[in-house]
Amino acid sequence: MSILSLRRINKKYGQAKVFAVNEVSFDVEEGEILALVGESGSGKTTLLRLIAGLEHPDDGTISLAGQVIVQGKESVPPHDRKVGMVFQDYALFPHLTILENVTFGIAKSKGNPEQLAKDTLKLVGLTEDFKKYPHQLSGGQQQRVALARAIAPNPRILLMDEPFSNLDAMLKDQVREEIRQIIKKTGITAIFVTHDTKDALSTADRIAILHKGYLQQIDIPKNLYETPVNPYVANFFGKRNELLATPSEDGFYTSFGFITDLEAKKYKRQVKLLFRPEHGEVVQREGQQLSGKIVKVSYFGSHQLVKISDDEGFRVTIRTNPGRIFDEVERTFFYLWKYDIEEAF
End-to-end CA distance of the chain: 43
For residues 70-129, which are near ligand ADP according to CB under 6 A?
none
Dmax (CA) for the chain in angstroms is: 76
Residue 211 or 240: the one with the smaller Cβ distance to ligand ADP is: 211
For residues 156-195, which are near ligand ADP according to CB under 6 A?
none
Residue nearest to Mg ion (CB): 45
**Contact (Cβ atoms closer than 8 angstroms) between residue 35 and residue 204:** yes
Residue 13 or 93: the one with the smaller Cβ distance to ligand ADP is: 13
CA distance 239 to 197: 12
Residue 45 or 203: the one with the smaller Cβ distance to Mg ion is: 45
Residue 43 contact among Mg ion, ligand ADP, none, beta carbon within 5 to 8 Å by kind? ligand ADP
Residue 40 or 321: the one with the smaller Cβ distance to ligand ADP is: 40
Phi–psi pair at 214, nearest 5 degrees: -100, 135
Residue 47 or 182: the one with the smaller Cβ distance to ligand ADP is: 47
- The verdict on 16 binding ligand ADP (CB under 6 A) reads yes
**Contact (Cβ atoms closer than 8 angstroms) between residue 197 and residue 24:** no
CA distance 226 to 219: 11
Residue 88 or 291: the one with the smaller Cβ distance to ligand ADP is: 88
- CB of 318: closest distance to ligand ADP in angstroms? 33
- The verdict on 203 binding ligand ADP (CB under 6 A) reads no
Residue 42 contact among Mg ion, ligand ADP, none, beta carbon within 5 to 8 Å by kind? ligand ADP
- The verdict on 216 binding ligand ADP (CB under 6 A) reads no
- CB of 25: closest distance to ligand ADP in angstroms? 17
For residues 57-86, which are near Mg ion according to CB under 5 A?
none
Contact range with Mg ion by CB under 5 A, out of 40-48, 167-175, 234-242, 326-334: 40-48
Q: Beta strand pairing status for 271-275 and 280-283?
A: unpaired
Helices of type H across the chain: 44-52, 98-104, 113-123, 139-151, 169-186, 197-203, 221-226, 231-236
**Contact (Cβ atoms closer than 8 angstroms) between residue 3 and residue 69:** no
- CB of 187: closest distance to ligand ADP in angstroms? 27
**Contact (Cβ atoms closer than 8 angstroms) between residue 49 and residue 6:** no
Non-local (6+) Cβ contacts of 137 within 8 A are: 98, 129, 145
Residue 45 or 304: the one with the smaller Cβ distance to Mg ion is: 45
Residue 38 or 113: the one with the smaller Cβ distance to ligand ADP is: 38
- CB of 327: closest distance to ligand ADP in angstroms? 44
- CB of 86: closest distance to ligand ADP in angstroms? 14
Taking CB under 5 A as the criterion, the residue among 45, 216, 241, 289 binding Mg ion is: 45
- CB of 15: closest distance to Mg ion in angstroms? 20
Non-local (6+) Cβ contacts of 4 within 8 A are: 27, 28, 51, 62, 63, 64, 65, 157, 189, 191
- CA–CA distances in Å: residue 171 to residues 141, 146, 178: 11, 17, 11
Site pattern 21..60 for ligand ADP (x: CB under 6 A): -----------------x-xxxxxxx--------------
CA distance 318 to 281: 7
Beta bridge partners, 207, equal: 35, 219
Query: Which stretches of the chain bind ligand ADP, using CB under 6 A?
Result: 13, 16, 20, 38, 40-46
Q: Which residues bind Mg ion (CB under 5 A)?
A: 45
